[in-house]
Structure 1
Amino acid sequence: MSTLDQHVICHGITERHTSATDIDFCVEEIFTKGYSVIRGSFDAATIARVSEYSDKSYQKQCEALGGEQNLARINDANIARAPCADFDLFIDVAMDPKVHAVADALLGRNYILYSQNAIINVPTTNHYQFSWHRDLNYQHWTSSRCLALSALLCVDPFDDITGGTYVLPATHKVEKFPSDRYVLENQLCVHAQPGDWILFDSMLFHRTGKNSSNAKRRAVNHIIVPPFMAQQYDFMGMIGDRLKTHEQRVFFGQGRQTAPSAIEWRQSRINRL
């Protein structure tokens, strides 16, 4: 590469992004192409615990619902939903400062956790997330600003063999799903290692790849939204008494539950005073 190729030379440009930090660059990538990767957010010991407790949470939920066969009947096998309700470790994972720094930049200071799911990609099995989708399902519109951020913690290696996350870059800016030819010629697999975060605009079209390895491939996905969107789970009802800090309580939705009546809606605001 020549010396000239190693420098960015511009002409006729009066506005541009600046990336003084890794977080700045991550935000710029998500804004522009829809996704980015933050490397090495958790050490190997923590990731080993996340792996163990993802499986334990799933087994616990299978037992509570009469066995895995019942989850398979509703096309919901191999997902531990809201694992933070089972183990506090997942509360700590959800509060990672790097993810919150990105959420601050993309969503503003006010945002909450919409959902948290541990996804277990088992070899030789099918999963509904193999299908292309947006994390805000059934929506065909675009926005000048990010309205939801998906944060996927990689617990095992993500690549073409284990079933990495496939994306269609920049489709968070396109209303319609692309043609088959466009998908086949432009899809790419995001590679990441255990402890990395794959962050993307929740409106980016993406899917889980097939796991052709001999081991499970796990991940913990979070969808972070502005507080005017209703949460998928009542986190405060499940874990409110276990949250230790104000920041945790706000993120998990304190005060955002639907009020049973107009009187109680007003009373909750009076109580805050």
Structure 2
Amino acid sequence: MLAMIVRHRDDSGMTATTDVKPQAAAQRQPYDRAEVPTALGLGPAAFQDPDVQRFLHQGYLVIDQAIDQDTVIALRSALDGVASRRPGQEIIHSLLEEDDRFATLLEVPAVMSRLTAILGTCMQLHSATARITTSGHPDQDWHRDGPWPMDPVGVPYGGIPAQINCGFYLDIEPEMGAFVCLPGSHRAPFRPPKGHAPFPDEIHLVPRPGQAVLFDGWLFHRGGANRSNGVRRTCLMCYQHAWMKSRERFDGPRVAQLRATGTARTRLLLGGVSSW
């Protein structure tokens, strides 16, 4: 073990030396090295992937058959249970702590393969939420999912804001309110306008139950008004680089159990590398 000699002056002004021994490796490394991937991304081939190119250009990607219908039914039931415990609450935070069934959304294979190609191997969950949009809810305003400015060129060292959201729309029909977005706006160097005035190039997505929508958190987007008599139920799993701070603390009992029994990737997704 290496030691370090530190020279300093004592109260009398005389020079003294102190032998400082480094901390033990276990103290210096508060995480399991097995949780950290050995490569940052999938290599040059990822840049040629059509889904990656589509996402980079448009800022969103629709994934067919991401989850099966049995899972959709189970998630509807789980979310109905949450709604009964929290009447009138539109946004449910810390979704993984609400019901074990929501854990099926953490590592959906069809989603993770695209996310890994786009965001890389070193990612973690930013947040897990649900939105319950009841009948008569008005149009949502245009927004981005973070406060940070955007510059498509970036900065000399580092990267641009990178948060990728995955929406699972469990029962959406046109009159319930579509997912409205402006393709390509994820690299716009200005904030979205106030209100919900239409853009000429905006699109209205009505995903089928079982589909998933990946979208850049800086894409201009909003939810449409629910003009139906039903309830629009959506689960949102949001991902980011593992070295960024998450919105959630992921310190509840259900997440602790997932970390204890999950794979190295599961632990990484749930903040297993909390400091270094």
**What TM-score range do you get, normalising by the shorter chain?**
0.7 to 0.9
Q: State the distance in 2 between where 1:57 and 1:27 align.
A: 35
- Residue type of the partner of 2:240? V
Q: State the distance in 1 between where 2:160 and 2:77 align.
A: 37
In structure 1, the partner of 2:67 is 42
5+ long unaligned stretches in structure 1: 1-16, 69-76, 257-264
The answer to whether residue 262 in structure 2 is matched with residue 245 in structure 1 is yes
8 Å contact kept, 2:124–2:239 = yes
- Residue type of the partner of 2:221? H
Q: State the distance in 2 between where 1:35 and 1:220 align.
A: 16
Q: State the distance in 2 between where 1:212 and 1:103 align.
A: 33
8 Å contact kept, 2:142–2:193 = no
- Residue type of the partner of 1:139? P
Q: How many Å apart are 1:147 and its aligned residue?
A: 1.4
The answer to whether residue 142 in structure 2 is matched with residue 125 in structure 1 is no
8 Å contact kept, 2:178–2:223 = yes
- Residue type of the partner of 2:102? F
Alignment map for 1:117-196 (pairs within 5 Å): 117-126=129-138, 130-137=140-147, 139-142=149-152, 143=154, 147-159=162-174, 161-177=175-191, 183-196=198-211
The number of equivalent residue pairs is: 223
The answer to which structure has the higher helix fraction is: 1
8 Å contact kept, 2:148–2:161 = no
Alignment map for 1:1-273 (pairs within 5 Å): 24-60=49-85, 62=86, 68=88, 77-126=89-138, 130-137=140-147, 139-142=149-152, 143=154, 147-159=162-174, 161-177=175-191, 183-238=198-253, 239-243=255-259, 244-246=261-263, 247-256=265-274
Q: How many Å apart are 1:92 and its aligned residue?
A: 1.4
What is the SS of the residue equivalent to 1:221?
Answer: strand
What is the SS of the residue equivalent to 1:235?
Answer: coil
Q: State the distance in 2 between where 1:187 and 1:209 align.
A: 12
Q: State the distance in 1 between where 2:84 and 2:148 align.
A: 30
Q: State the distance in 2 between where 1:215 and 1:182 align.
A: 25
What is the SS of the residue equivalent to 1:26?
Answer: helix
8 Å contact kept, 2:97–2:252 = no
- Residue type of the partner of 1:96? V
- Residue type of the partner of 1:175? P
Q: For 1:145-168, what per-residue CA distance to the aligned partner results, in whole angstroms no more than 9, with x for missing partners?
A: 771111001111253x11111001
What is the SS of the residue equivalent to 2:227?
Answer: coil
- Residue type of the partner of 1:133? H
Q: State the distance in 2 between where 1:152 and 1:96 align.
A: 12
5+ long unaligned stretches in structure 2: 1-45
**Which TM-score applies when normalising by structure 1?**
0.73
In structure 2, the partner of 1:12 is none
8 Å contact kept, 1:54–1:83 = no
The answer to which structure has the higher strand fraction is: 2
| Percent identity over paired residues | 23
The two structures, once aligned, show a CA RMSD in angstroms of 2.7
- C-alpha spacing 1:183/1:136, structure 2 compared with 1 (3 Å): same
